[in-house]
Structure 1
Amino acid sequence: MGREGTLRERNRQNAYAEIGDTAMRLFMKQGFEQTTIEQIAAAVGISTRTFFRYFATKEDIVVGDLMALGEVVQAALRARPVEEGPWEAMTAALAALTDAPHKPRRALETALLTTANPALRARHLEKHLRWQELLVPEIERRMGVEPGPVPDPRAHAIVGACLACLDTAMEIWAKRDGEGTLEEIYLEALTAIRT
């Protein structure tokens, strides 16, 4: 029974990846707005009903895994040495995104689509607000502040500034068509804020 569950889960993950990859190809070729869910489903060979078993919306294909990536950053932040300052810990934790299961080409496609489409940009920023909920308590602990119902403004500002630098880096990276690395651009933006 355990192996059957494992096989079922692998099949689900493969289908999820195939739908996502096919959709991204169509988005890059036709444009996000011009690509319909029906076109994606037809290209994969599934019904629209089956599509909705994997993705709630078309936008989720592009920005849907950002919440999971927020949890990756949270885990990386928790793993940082206690004596590391909040800025350094946040920067190191965000670097974990480059180790996440995101191919560089897919990351660039996501950046290009997100920066060019207001609806995707809004969803992206909404997910980053959720990241703040995950990350602010970790920065508060690092600062010696007991997390409570109202976030410490200093911890909130540090997380917000780091995420703003990440968004800026993503936008610039997309405009440069992937030239350089997200990490280099992020560090350049963060240095500007901290000086």
Structure 2
Amino acid sequence: MAETSRTVRSTLRERTRAAMRDEVSEVAFRLFSEQGFDKTTVEQIAAEAGLSRTTFFRYFGTKEEVVLGKMSEFGPRIAAALAARPAEERCWQALRRSFDVITEPTADEPQPFLNLMRLLNDACALMTRQWEKTQGWHSLLVPEIARRLCDDSESTGDLRAHALVGAAISCLDAATDAWTASEGAAPLSELLDQAMGVLVEPVT
């Protein structure tokens, strides 16, 4: 009984924290849109959200984390989507479909993701951190692709899995850059299809 109560309290704290992070993020993105990332301070974000500067740092380690936190959310979701793809599906197609986690929401409501990408493009430091985040997706996606390859040689399978995942992420980056530059004129899903269509998967 006591264990159940602790679990409930822990879950409630996690939900409360997540809700507060979402609220602060919404305020921060509005300020970033109005006055730019560099000109927006932590103090301004905290004040608009009704928090002290100290409380802000309980939820976000830095101002950059407010933006990059949204990017980091995609990795586990893409990995889950990849793992859920049919076992008989080719690796390249499975990777493409796992990116629907990103492309499908932009079809219905492109502006939030456009705003996020503009922020990343406007700040060099954020671009570097974004690259680090997307590279971190490798560790989440490679094991599933390696499993699908079912290689006799573990090292060879891992090499091919790294190559496929790296190429797929590069295609996503290229499509996203083109989509952002065009202000979302063409659907991101179509641009990603074009980018990934340039490459042909050499393995089953």
- Smaller-chain TM-score bracket: 0.7 to 0.9
Q: Deviations over 1:126-167 (max 9, x none)?
A: 011110011111111111137968972221111111111111
> In the alignment, which of 92, 116, 127 is matched to residue 121 of structure 1?
127
Aligned length: 195
Which residue is 2:176 aligned to? Answer: 170
What does residue 112 of structure 1 align with? 118
Are 1:137 and 2:140 an aligned pair?
Answer: no
Q: 1:99 to 1:178 in 2, by over 3 A?
A: closer
TM-score by length of 2: 0.84
- The structure with the larger Rg is 2
Q: Is the 8 A contact 2:75 2:140 kept in 1?
A: yes
Gaps of 5+ in 2: none
Give 2:85's aligned residue.
80
Structure 1 gaps, min length 5: none
Where does 1:1-195 land on structure 2 (aligned, <5 Å)?
A: 1=5, 7-98=12-103, 104-145=110-151, 152-194=158-200
Query: Comparing 56-65 with 141-150, which one deviates more in the overlay?
Result: 141-150
- The one-character-per-residue Cα deviations of 1:31-85 (angstroms, maximum 9, x if unpaired) are 1111111111111111111111111111111111333311111111111111111
Q: Report the CA distance between 1:112 and its aligned residue.
A: 1.1
TM-score normalised by the chain length of structure 1: 0.88
**Deviant stretches of 4+, over 6 Å:** none
